């Protein structure tokens, strides 16, 4: 360490655990660095079996229990927290239809179009600016609002009966007003 190098803070395992718990057991290399874990220390804990490597730059605390949304959390972390689940994936997360998508729809800001990415398998990317009003959370992942989800699905190649079912469910449960749903 030179005089110009600031001292590295000691690793804060409780903070890393708190973060991982809020993200279905997962965290990124950058998040770990923010609480004092160097890449070398992550490798050490991986070899010791305390953490598992899920994909490049994403890890999981081994002893935390599995959760239903784990696969989506990993995709969201891959997007550096900028992605929002949308379209058919959002329908399923909002429990608005019987659809069980076999892919994850993720909407990213338009600037992501220019990036050369290795998109995780089973993920379809959409690009749009999503205002705060069009975002919400379901469990540990961000999802488009019900109204935005219905608009996205209306513009996508979704079977009309699924869209009708989702719209009726949303109105019945008071998630959107009837006049908003018809728009």
Q: What pLDDT was estimated at residue 96?
A: 94
Q: Who's near 79: CB < 8 A, 6+ residues apart?
A: 106, 108
Contact 75, 106 (CB under 8 A): yes
Phi/psi at 169 (nearest 5 deg)? -60, -45
Nearest-angstrom CA–CA distance, 62 and 51: 5
Task: Count the residues in the chain.
Answer: 183
Q: What pLDDT was estimated at residue 177?
A: 87
Q: What is the pTM for the complete model shown?
A: 0.89
Q: What pLDDT was estimated at residue 13?
A: 94
List, edge to edge, every strand of the sheet that includes 51-55.
Answer: 26-28, 58-61, 51-55
Placement of tokens 């609480």 in the chain: 35
Q: What pLDDT was estimated at residue 7?
A: 58
For residue 38, give the H/E element and its range. none
Per-residue pLDDT of the chain (183 residues; tens, 9 = 90+): 555 655 567 899 999 999 999 999 999 999 999 999 999 999 999 999 999 999 999 999 999 999 988 999 999 999 999 999 999 999 999 999 888 889 999 999 999 998 877 899 999 999 999 999 999 999 999 999 999 999 999 998 888 899 999 999 999 999 988 877 666
> Got the DSSP string for 103-133?
SEEEEE-GGGGGS---PPTTEEEEE----GG
CA angle 50, 55, 59 (to 5 degrees): 30
> Got the DSSP string for 126-164?
EE----GGGEEEETTEEEE-HHHHHHHHHHSS--HHHHH
DSSP 8-class letter at 8: P
Q: What pLDDT was estimated at residue 30?
A: 96
Q: What pLDDT was estimated at residue 14?
A: 96
């Amino acid at each position: 360490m030179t005089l110009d190098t600031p001292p590295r803070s000691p690793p804060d395992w409780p903070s890393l655990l708190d973060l991982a718990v809020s993200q279905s057991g997962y965290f990124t290399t950058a998040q770990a660095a923010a609480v004092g874990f160097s890449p070398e220390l992550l490798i050490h804990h991986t070899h010791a079996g305390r953490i598992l490597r899920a994909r490049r730059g994403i890890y999981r605390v081994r002893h935390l229990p599995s959760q239903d949304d784990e696969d989506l959390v990993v995709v969201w972390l891959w997007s550096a927290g900028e992605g929002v689940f949308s379209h058919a994936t959002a329908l399923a997360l909002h429990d608005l239809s019987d659809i069980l998508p076999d892919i994850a729809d993720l909407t990213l800001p338009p600037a992501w179009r220019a990036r050369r990415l290795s998109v995780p398998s089973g993920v379809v990317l959409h690009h749009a600016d999503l205002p705060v009003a069009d975002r919400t959370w379901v469990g540990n992942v961000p999802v488009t609002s019900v109204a935005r989800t219905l608009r996205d699905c209306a513009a996508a190649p979704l079977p009309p009966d699924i869209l009708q079912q989702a719209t009726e469910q949303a109105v019945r449960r008071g998630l959107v007003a009837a006049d908003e749903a018809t728009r």
